[in-house]
Amino acid sequence: MHDSYNRTNSPKAQMGEYKGTAWALFKNTVEDATEDVIAFGFFRDAIVKAVVDQVSECLPIDAQESIQILFANRKYSLIKDILTHLATAEDFQKYKAFISDPYTYAKKWILKLLKRELFEEKAGIRSGCLYNQLAHSRVTKIFSHISKCISDATKDCQIRSLSCMSKWIDLFIFHNCKSSDLPLSNDALVHVRDRKISNLDTFVVILNEQLSVMENMVLNIFSNVKSDNVQWKKNPISEIMESLWGCTANCMFCHEPCMNSDKNHLEDKFPHKCIAQKV
Ligand SMILES: [Zn+2]
Ligand SMILES: [Zn+2]
């Protein structure tokens, strides 16, 4: 009897039992917290990828606009700039290149201009080159939209006493879809949706704390882009040329480029236009 009493009530036995409970408690807490951290990790990765994709999609358009705005009269302004340069360049090879193939010459001209405008740091401007500024403003706008969707989804869950992850994700996607800031594919957040998190509040707290870290992750990706490593999702040069140069025909008499910036002017019954020949 003494032995059995000792087995259950000795400090050693009690300690063992206590340890068992504490360990179980500790283990559960860690597992739950881990589950929340895993859910956050999936959410972060999915969102960072979606933002990078969306910004990469928008940057060629921003780049295109920032070049086109420099040529108020489209093709006329572009040719005038090139001719002004050629007039002072005193470079026969350049004259020859422009006269024999004005379109190709202009395309190379635009490529150089794009590099200069987007990637050269301008004196007096501290916030990096234009490319970085364009990326920065896109990223900031998208993250302020995400932040609003997080708070709207969380408020909706509180009002309706919902505490599961799948409902929160559904509401987040619902609010996100109200604007076109961040297109999300249907399965982008499917891994997060399935997580059995311990506490929605904890998840949202982690999320709000880490949102600026996520924003910086995205900003870093774009701040490392330079003119020699830029990879356009869609190269803006052909779009710029299409909009500025349009018709690629040259005058059959004097070889001057047709002055129409509209590529389809013949279909619209407007003939090629040459300033020298007045046709
Ligand atoms: Zn002509
Ligand atoms: Zn034409």
Mean pLDDT of 97-108: 95
pLDDT at 85: 94
Locate 48 and state its tokens. 């960072």
Please state, in angstroms and rounded to a whole number, the distance separating the CA atoms of residues 74 and 102. 15
| Type of residue at 94 | K
- Distance of CA 279 from the midpoint of ligand 2 (Å): 10
Ligand nearest to the CA of 272: 2
Distance 268 CA to ligand 1 centre (A): 21
- Integer Cα distance of 31 and 260 in angstroms: 68
Give the DSSP H or E segment for 179: none
Rounded CA separation 51/126 (Å): 25
**Cα 230 from chain centroid (whole Å):** 13
Ligand 1 centroid from CA 6, angstroms: 112
Two tokens, residue 99: 């006269």
Residue % of the chain over a pLDDT of 90: 71
Query: Which ligand has its closest atom nearest to the C-alpha of 252?
Result: 1
CA–CA separation, 165 and 35 (whole Å): 11
Q: What is the pLDDT of residues 19-66, one digit of tens each?
A: 666 666 666 666 777 888 888 999 999 999 999 999 999 999 999 999
pLDDT in tens, 191-241: 898 888 878 888 898 899 999 999 999 999 999 999 999 999 999 999 999
Tokens coding 35 = 């589950």
276 band by pLDDT with thresholds 50, 70 and 90 = confident
CA of 100 to the centre of ligand 1 (A): 14
**DSSP secondary structure letter of residue 250:** B
Q: On the CB side of 268, how many CA atoms lie within 13 Å of its CA?
A: 9
Q: Is the pLDDT of residue 86 over 50?
A: yes
Helices (H), the chain: 2-9, 11-68, 74-89, 92-100, 102-119, 130-159, 165-176, 190-193, 200-223, 236-244
Tell me the ligand closest to 278's alpha carbon.
1
